[in-house]
């Protein structure tokens, strides 16, 4: 069975600081990996996805994530936080194209002025 662990249910950074949100997965086969963002009272929207073409994946709004198979990690980063980045972020994994997504518990990012 697949599982996803997001370390830190809440992360607080200052505006302009580096954002690092951690995601580790357990999977018996190379997985498909996704990061989603959820703004208050809204649905989830895709930030980026791992396609296996490149280990460093760039997404929307300046976010990127690096797939590290040896560490079974897919951490999300952004060099400089903006107030508008405050939201909840979810890492998700699926075993294949049509299989269900398994989500981590989410990390709420707070950005201080």
Partner 1 sequence: NAGVTQTPKFRILKIGQSMTLQCTQDMNHNYMYWYRQDPGMGLKLIYYSVGAGITDKGEVPNGYNVSRSTTEDFPLRLELAAPSQTSVYFCASRSRTVNTEAFFGQGTRLTVV
Determine if 49 is a binding residue for partner 1 (CB under 8 A): yes
Q: Which of 56, 83, 105, 110 contacts partner 1 by CB under 8 A? A: 105
Nearest-approach distance from CB 107 to partner 1, in angstroms: 10
Determine if 55 is a binding residue for partner 1 (CB under 8 A): no
- Residue 85 is classified by DSSP as G
Determine if 14 is a binding residue for partner 1 (CB under 8 A): no
Ramachandran area for residue 76 (φ above 0: left; ψ -120 to 50: alpha; else beta): beta
Determine if 30 is a binding residue for partner 1 (CB under 8 A): no
CB atoms within 10 A of CB 25: 19
The answer to whether 59 and 47 have CB atoms below 8 angstroms apart is yes
Instruction: Pick between residue 73 and residue 107 the one whose CB is nearest to partner 1.
Output: 107
Angle at 68 between CA 102 and CA 3, to 5 degrees: 20
> What is the binding site for partner 1 (CB under 8 A)?
4, 6, 9, 32, 34, 36, 41-46, 49, 51-52, 90, 96-98, 100-106
């Amino acid at each position: 069975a697949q599982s996803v662990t997001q370390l830190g249910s809440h992360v607080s950074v200052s505006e302009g600081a580096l954002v690092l949100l951690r995601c580790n997965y357990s999977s018996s086969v190379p997985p498909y990996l996704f990061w989603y963002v959820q703004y208050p009272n809204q649905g989830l929207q895709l930030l980026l996805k791992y396609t296996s073409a490149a280990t460093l994946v760039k997404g929307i709004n300046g976010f990127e994530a690096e797939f590290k198979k040896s560490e079974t990690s897919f951490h999300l980063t952004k060099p400089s936080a903006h107030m508008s980045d405050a939201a909840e972020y979810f890492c998700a994994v699926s075993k294949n194209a049509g299989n269900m997504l398994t989500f981590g518990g989410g990390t709420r990012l707070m950005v201080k002025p």
